[in-house]
Structure 1
Amino acid sequence: MAVFRTQGAGHFITVASTAALRIVPTVAVYAGTKVAVRAICEGLRQEAGDSLRVTTVSPGAVGTPFAEASTNPQVRARNTEMRDRIAIPPEAIARAIAFAIEQPATVGMNEIVIRPTAQN
Structure 2
Amino acid sequence: MSVWRRKATELFNIRFGPTQHETIYDVFRTLLGLVKEAHNRGDEDQLKKIYEYAEWCSTQRADDLRNAAGVSFYEHLVDDEVTYQAILRWIKPTIFSIIKDLLKWRIKDETVYRDLVDKFNVINGTSIQY
Relative to the length of structure 1, the TM-score reads: 0.26
Higher RCO (CA < 8 A, seq sep 6+): 1
Relative to the length of structure 2, the TM-score reads: 0.25
Which is richer in strand? 1
